[in-house]
Amino acid sequence: MRSKPAVASYTSRVPNHNPTRTVPGAANKRRRVRFLLLLGVVALYGISVPWYRSADQPLRLWLGLPDWVTTALLCYLGAAGLNFVAWHLTEIPEPEADRDRASGPEA
């Protein structure tokens, strides 16, 4: 059987390739914030579906759209913002090959 490079260091919960992330407290805080942001995304998805509204309610316009549509769109706008920040806080450990390539030319 061929030998595999170890992966534990790539997937461990405290990657420290970036010097700005070497302080465990700071790394933990980033992870906590990211987790809360993603929880926020899930909550907004829950609100976007109008399961809590009665289907026979009369049409009410809000910003030119039925109010349940505007609510859904605002939820998605919020979710996009939170998801954007969450991606910027996401730690994707970089193996050596990855970091070497990052300094090379783009395709």
Partner 1 sequence: MNPEEVAVLAIGVYLVLLVAVAEAARRARVDRSPDDHFLAGRHLGAFVLFFTLYATSYSGNSLLGYPGEAYRRGYLWIMATGFMMAVTVVFHLLVPRMRPIAIARGFVTPGDWIRDRFDGDRGAGALRIAVAILMTIALANYLLAQLTAMGVVASEATGGRIPYSLGVVGLAGMILFYETLGGMRAVAWTDAVQGALMIGGLALMMGWLLRETGGLGGVTQQVAALRPDAVQVPDARSCANWASTVLLLGFGSVVYPQAIQRVFAARSARALRRALGAMSFMPLVTTTVVAMIGVAAIPKLQALGVVEADSVMPRLLGTWAAEGFLAVGVATLIFVGALAAIMSTADSVILSLGSLVAADLLGRARHDPATTRAGKRLAVGIMLAMVAVALLPRTTLWRLIELKMELLIQCVPSFLLALYWGRLRAPAALLGLAVGTAMAGGAALADIKRIAGVHVGLLGLASNVAVCAVFTWFTPRRVEGHSWDAYS
User: Applying CB under 8 A, which residues contact partner 1?
Assistant: 1, 4-8, 10-11, 38, 41, 45, 48-51, 53-57, 59, 61, 63-66, 68-69, 72-73, 76-77, 79-81, 83-88, 90-95, 97-99, 101-102, 104-107
The answer to whether the beta carbons of residues 91 and 15 sit under 8 Å apart is: yes
The distance of closest approach from Cβ of residue 23 to partner 1 in the complex, given in angstroms and rounded to an integer, is 20
The distance of closest approach from Cβ of residue 72 to partner 1 in the complex, given in angstroms and rounded to an integer, is 5
Of the candidates 75, 85, 84, 88, which has an alpha carbon nearest to the alpha carbon of residue 42?
75
Torsion, Cα 94 99 103 107, to 10 degrees, reads -60
The distance of closest approach from Cβ of residue 67 to partner 1 in the complex, given in angstroms and rounded to an integer, is 9
Q: Based on CB atoms, which residue is closest to partner 1, 6 or 25?
A: 6
Q: Based on CB atoms, which residue is closest to partner 1, 24 or 98?
A: 98
Cα–Cα dist 10/93, whole Å: 6
Query: From the DSSP assignment, how many helices (H) and strands (E) are in the chain?
Result: 4, 2
